[in-house]
């Protein structure tokens, strides 16, 4: 069964869920003319560039941020190198640190008041990702459950090429077979969403900006 709520977001239409949006109307109209709705959905999505996360105001390499409110920003990660290598591989670590240093340098120039940095993703379970951030920030990590409609959880099943990661998906299916209800469904996911928050000065110090 297709998750139309998640599709609406993945098509870059935001979270207003406006059924009259022209792009959504185009997609819905196409559903009535095809036999395989999954194939139509795949072609429709593939014909459009990946949408940026909602509210993004600055981007540097694979990282960007959006304002949550006047005192907090939310970090986002997206695999944008396009050179075939893993963006979180050891050989790309210096590049990722440079991305973050440039991003926070621009934030330091633009911000006029003390702010806090917020993150929420399954990626914070991976050392390849954790090593890019200051320890005081990592120390605040807390598991966030019931994020079933959001990519910070479901993103763990897709690799940088957009293909399903068979090993992770297999673990999920194996665990799911042992559940007869939705209770504790979070435990079926190989990685949980971790939420973090710390003052921006920790990042300025860590990246030397």
Give residue-wise pLDDT tens across range 112-146.
788 999 999 999 999 999 999 999 999 999 999 88
Does 89 share its domain with 10?
Answer: no
Does 170 share its domain with 74?
Answer: yes
Does 122 share its domain with 37?
Answer: no
Does 28 share its domain with 63?
Answer: no
**CA 105 to each of CA 35, 93, 117, 204, 207: distance values in angstroms, whole numbers, following the listed order:** 51, 18, 14, 8, 9
Does 4 share its domain with 79?
Answer: no
Domain range spanning residue 75? 55-207
Instruction: Give one word for 208, left, alpha or beta, with left for phi > 0 and alpha for psi -120 to 50.
Output: left
Range of 13-17, 75-79, 146-150 with top mean pLDDT: 75-79
Does 136 share its domain with 65?
Answer: yes
Identify whether the C-beta of residue 71 lies closer than 8 Å to the C-beta of residue 65: no
Number of domains composing the chain: 2
Does 16 share its domain with 100?
Answer: no
Does 33 share its domain with 62?
Answer: no
Domain boundary among 51, 67, 87: 51
Does 41 share its domain with 87?
Answer: no
Question: How many other C-beta atoms are found inside a 10 Å radius of the C-beta of residue 198?
Answer: 19
Does 46 share its domain with 137?
Answer: no
Does 79 share its domain with 148?
Answer: yes
Q: Is the pLDDT of residue 6 over 80?
A: no
Q: Is the pLDDT of residue 10 over 80?
A: no
**CA 186 to each of CA 94, 146, 189, 196, 203: distance values in angstroms, whole numbers, following the listed order:** 34, 7, 6, 19, 31
Does 3 share its domain with 79?
Answer: no
Higher pLDDT pick, 163 / 100: 100
Give residue-wise pLDDT tens across range 18-77.
788 787 888 888 888 888 888 888 787 767 655 556 678 899 999 999 998 889 999 999
């Amino acid at each position: 069964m297709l998750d139309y709520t998640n599709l609406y977001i993945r098509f870059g239409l935001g979270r207003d869920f406006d059924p009259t949006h022209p792009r959504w109307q185009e997609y819905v109209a196409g559903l009535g003319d095809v036999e395989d709705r999954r194939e139509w959905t795949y072609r429709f999505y593939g014909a459009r560039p990946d949408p940026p996360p909602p509210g993004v105001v600055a981007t540097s390499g694979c990282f960007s941020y959006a304002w949550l409110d006047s005192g907090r920003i939310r970090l986002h990660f997206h695999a944008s190198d396009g050179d075939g290598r893993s963006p979180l591989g050891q050989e790309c670590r210096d590049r990722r640190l440079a991305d973050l240093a440039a991003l926070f340098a621009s934030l330091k120039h633009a911000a006029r008041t003390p702010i806090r940095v917020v993150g929420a993703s399954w990626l914070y379970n991976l050392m390849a990702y954790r090593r890019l951030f200051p320890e005081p920030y990592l120390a605040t990590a807390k598991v966030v459950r019931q994020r079933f409609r959001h990519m910070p959880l479901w993103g763990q099943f897709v690799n940088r090429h957009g293909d399903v990661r068979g090993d992770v998906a297999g673990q999920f299916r194996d665990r799911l077979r042992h559940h007869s209800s939705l209770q504790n469904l979070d435990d079926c996911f190989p990685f949980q969403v971790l939420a973090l928050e710390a003052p921006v000065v920790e990042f300025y110090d860590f990246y030397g900006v």
